[in-house]
Structure 1
Amino acid sequence: MLLALILIIITIVLVYQAVQLSKIPKPIREQYKAIIKSCNLRKIGAGISVDDDKQILVLPGTPKIPIPLSDIVNIETDEKTRQITTTTGSVKKKGALTRGVVGMTLFGPVGGVVGAVSAKKVDNRKYTTETVTDKFIVIHTKNPYRPLLRMIYNDKLWYQLENLFSTK
C-alpha cells in the first residue's frame, strides 16, 4: 500500500515536470542548459545558485532557468504567522470501579452500570499554544517562463540575496 502511494507520488511529480518542460520551447531549453553549463555556479541556499562573474541567478525547479540579475524586478519577503496548539494529558474517570461496586451491591446489575457511568471525570489535559512564523521569499522576474518564485527561506538565504543585490 505504501509502495503504491510512493509510486503514485513519483508519477505525479514526473508528469508535472514534463508539463513544465513542455511549456518552454525546445530551443530555449537548450539555450538555458548551455548557459548553465558555461556558468561557474555557487549555491546560496534553497536550490538557488549564482554566477558572480556573469551576473546570473539560477532558480530552482524544472527546468532550471538562468536569469540575469538585471531581469530581477523585485525581491520581497512575506511572513505568515500561525498558532499551533498541542494537548498533553487525558480525561480520566475517577472512582468508576468503586461506584460500580457500591451500585451493584445496593441495586444489582443496573445499579452497577449506573454507578460506574456516574463516576467523576478528571481533566488532566494541558494546552500549550505556540506561535510559528513561516518566512517566504518572493522573487519577481521579467522571464516569461518563471515570472514569480515563492519559497520558504531562512535568514542566511535572505542575507546572501541582499548582499548580491546591494552590489548591483
Structure 2
Amino acid sequence: MKLLLTLLLCLSSSVQAASWLTWPTVGSATLRWGPFDVYFSVLRTPAGRYEANRWPQALSINYLREITTDELVKATQDQWQAMQIAVPATQQQRWLAELGTIWPTVQNGSQLTFVADASGGRFYYRPQPDRAVVPIGGRFDGAFRDAFLAIWLSPATQYPALRQQLTGGAAL
C-alpha cells in the first residue's frame, strides 16, 4: 500500500510538472553561435500571449548540443553581468551555486524548463524527448524568477531578436 501511494504521488507530480505542455506557444527561437545551433527555446502561457510580469509562464530550452553544468552556470552568470542585473553579487553567487547542484550536463535532445508563477518558479528536466519530465531542485523566489527570465525576456537582453521571436513580437 505504501509503495502504491508513493507511485501515485510520483505520477501526480509528473502530471502537474508537465501541465505547461498543454499551454499554447507564444513564440519560439533558436540560438545560433557562429555556425552552431545551441538550443531551441519555446515560451508558453495559458493564454498563448506574452505580457511582462503576468504569470504563469513556461520557458523551455531544448538543447541541440552537449553543454556541461559548469558551462550553463557560467553562461547564466555572464548574462547577468552583461545585463547588469540589479541583484547583489552575493545573492547571484548563492543562486549560481544552487544551479550548479541541480542542473545536469545537457545533451542534444535534453530540455530544461523554468515554470514561473506569481511567487517564483522551479525547474523541470527531460533528459530526452521520449523520457518523462521531472522536477529538479526546489522552488526559487520571485527575485530569481525575474533575473533568470530577464536573460530571454527583458528589453535589455543580449539577444533582442530571440526575445522578439519568443514573445511573439510583444513590445511589453
TM-score (norm 1): 0.28
Structure with higher strand content: 1
